[in-house]
Amino acid sequence: MCGIIGYVGKKSASPILLEGLRRLEYRGYDSAGVAVLDQAKLVVRKKLGKIDEGIARLLKAEPVTGQLGIAHTRWATHGVPSDKNSHPHFDQSQKIAVVHNGVIENYDALKQKLARAGHTFKSDTDTEVLAHLIGDCYEKRRGKPGANGDALTQAVCDALREVIGTYGLAVICADYPNLIVGARRGSPLIIGIGKDEHFVASDANAIVAHTKKVVYLNDYDVATITPDRFDVLNLGTDTATVQISQLEFSQEDAARGKHAHFMLKEIFEQPQTVLNALRGRLDFEGATAKFGGLNMTSAELRGIDRIVIAASGTSWHAALVGEYLIEEFAQLPVEVEFAHEFCYRNCPLEKNTVLLVLSQSGETADTLAALREAKRRGHRALAIVNVVGSTIARESDGGIYMHAGPEIGVASTKAFVSTLAVLSLLAVHLGRMRNLPAKRALEFLRALEALPKQIEAILAQNNSLKKIAKKYAQADDFFFLGRGYTFPIALEGALKLKEISYIHAEGYSAAEMKHGPIALIDSKTPTVFLVPQDAMYDKTMANLAMIRARQGPIIALATEGDKQIKKVANDVIYLPKTLEPLYPILASVPLQLFAYHIAMARGCDVDKPRNLAKSVTVQ
């Protein structure tokens, strides 16, 4: 959600910034802009629209030169997407440029104060107010550097002390040809360390082509960055801990490769990403799963009385599957909360309740807030996260990485399935500390081990899935129905379809349908029915008959060898046979492809769906 990048070094900044913007585009694509310092003058280019059609064309027509610069790709919060609301924004003197990811909550009060002092504004954004505030503080600091270094860093610190809200930001000033000031609170920011050059970026994808050495800034950190050094101070504590980390992925991992879209690439990666999630964690000897990073002893894990899982969006759907898994295998009560609800209602947490958060990005503001809230209340907070070094990964008391590699497609696919794989392992791990018999656990581990090959078999049906998708691509409304373990997958299938094809789709319990929503069924409303051969099969088939009796077209996801389903469904997608708790993993894959092909048939941009952005860092 908004991407920022900054460069200071000996190379030309503009191509580095532009390439960085391309790699950050999944965080927002309403508009983009760059500011480069060219011979003591800040030169700015900004443009409405996606990067290739907007800023890239503009930079080609009107190039900029200089070795210091900042850039931004926007997901609008304050002010409509437009050239004038694009970042970078300037202060009153036009000497200071700012790019910002986050929300300045008290921007209105600050704007009025600055306006009374004679400031005039060109945009409707909160960021421009921040730029003016920094400029105002700079005027007061200029010529009188204090004990703590340059006047620009001091001005940024002064300004941020007046700000309520969240920010990951980068600031440059025409008076400082070698300096970027970066700061974060609530929105991620990292420093990339190169030879005679440094970078700032909102995530590592933007800079992994240049360096693998990074520093993850913490909240309230302010960094002063020049070509040959960087210093970090913390606004809260005055001193800051700086730890250099090594990135574990390469530029190729974050590239689209031969696939038409990141989403398709990530769907096809799933045999490998599931394997990665399971690697080294299947313990056949102990008939359990093992993890390195939970940071809890067996006795502590055994002492948990209840787990609350908090997450958002697709990760929340994974949480629902987690509830079924952990309750079934470990007989431990689990409650699933939307992360934002958990934070703001007084949800009772008993002494031995643990919070588990799920997040692909590890930066989702709502989920991070839930984690902090649980910790504030003195509870242990664990996390299942994909992005190594993300804020949630660093702030949790312990956790499990998905090891799915960079997920760039805005619609989450492989991370969802990896989360399910990790939750399955966790359920066995907790179950084996309680009453789960070894025989049952072993059977489950073997079924988990078979998943990558089974996913491959599903992916091999891509062409027939495409044909089915085309048949239904013009429908205005869809239902996705499932029961038991596949109920959350019905929700997820509907979410995938609506977010990338803009078709109205409702995920619902197949059983609950008859209590009202069935009124919406007619011959023009297709239903995707999840009906694997599980304990609920007969009941789900009865629910299916109700839709059929009302002329609703049915696309069924069924288990290989099910002949019965062919007689009642218009189209059937077959899943390999597995254990009931693992159908969510297998069923997710064809639903992702189904949504992808429908979106393609409707001419939608699946990697950049309208109004969305990856990594929602605002509440």
Q: Which residues bind ligand F6R (CB under 6 A)?
A: 312-315, 359-361, 364, 367, 411-412, 499, 615-616
DSSP per-residue codes, 34-94:
EEEEETTEEEEEEEES-TTTTHHHHHHHS----SEEEEEEE--SSS-SSTTTSSPEE-TTS
Query: Which has the closest alpha carbon to 190: 154, 218, 150?
Result: 218
Q: Which is nearer to ligand F6R, 128 or 373 (CB)?
A: 373
Residue 99: count of CB within 10 angstroms of its CB: 32
Closest separation in Å from C-beta 585 to ligand F6R: 16
Q: Which residue is nearest to ligand F6R (CB)?
A: 313
Amino acid identity, position 213: K
- DSSP H/E element including 274: helix 270-278
Residue 167, beta-bridge partner list? 185, 186
DSSP per-residue codes, 459-487:
HTTHHHHHHHHHHHTT-SEEEEEE-GGGH
CB 97 within 8 A of CB 35: yes
Query: Which has the closest alpha carbon to 159: 174, 173, 138, 145?
Result: 138
* Catalytic status, residue 41: no
Q: Which is nearer to ligand F6R, 85 or 361 (CB)?
A: 361
Closest separation in Å from C-beta 600 to ligand F6R: 17
Q: Which is nearer to ligand F6R, 270 or 360 (CB)?
A: 360
Q: How far apart are CA 87 and CA 78, in angstroms?
A: 12
Q: Which is nearer to ligand F6R, 27 or 87 (CB)?
A: 27
Q: Which is nearer to ligand F6R, 98 or 600 (CB)?
A: 600
Closest separation in Å from C-beta 188 to ligand F6R: 12
CB 13 within 8 A of CB 70: no
C-alpha distance from residue 141 to each of 11, 98, 149, 237, 609 (Å): 30, 18, 11, 22, 44
CA angle 364, 368, 372 (to 5 degrees): 175
Closest separation in Å from C-beta 387 to ligand F6R: 8
Q: Which is nearer to ligand F6R, 8 or 616 (CB)?
A: 616
Q: Which is nearer to ligand F6R, 126 or 492 (CB)?
A: 492
Residue 308, beta-bridge partner list? 335, 355
CB 308 within 8 A of CB 338: no
Closest separation in Å from C-beta 386 to ligand F6R: 7
CA angle 324, 430, 332 (to 5 degrees): 50
Closest separation in Å from C-beta 495 to ligand F6R: 6
Helix residue spans in 484-571 (DSSP H): 487-501, 537-548, 564-568
Closest separation in Å from C-beta 410 to ligand F6R: 7
Q: Which is nearer to ligand F6R, 367 or 509 (CB)?
A: 367
CA angle 574, 576, 577 (to 5 degrees): 120
Closest separation in Å from C-beta 246 to ligand F6R: 22
C-alpha distance from residue 281 to each of 362, 414, 421 (Å): 22, 19, 11
C-alpha distance from residue 313 to each of 38, 48, 206, 498, 552 (Å): 43, 28, 25, 13, 28
Closest separation in Å from C-beta 359 to ligand F6R: 3
Q: Which is nearer to ligand F6R, 88 or 362 (CB)?
A: 362
Tell me which of 111, 265, 498, 614 is the catalytic residue.
614
Query: Which has the closest alpha carbon to 364: 606, 615, 13?
Result: 615
Query: Phi and psi (nearest 5°) for 306?
Result: -160, 145
CB-hemisphere CA count at 13 Å for 127?
29
Helix residue spans in 479-518 (DSSP H): 487-501
Tokens of 360: 């692909």
C-alpha distance from residue 418 to each of 149, 273, 615 (Å): 46, 7, 17
* Burial of 143: CB neighbours in 10 Å, binned 0-12, 13-18, 19+: exposed
Q: Which is nearer to ligand F6R, 163 or 368 (CB)?
A: 368
* Catalytic status, residue 563: no
Mind telling me the catalytic residues? 2, 614
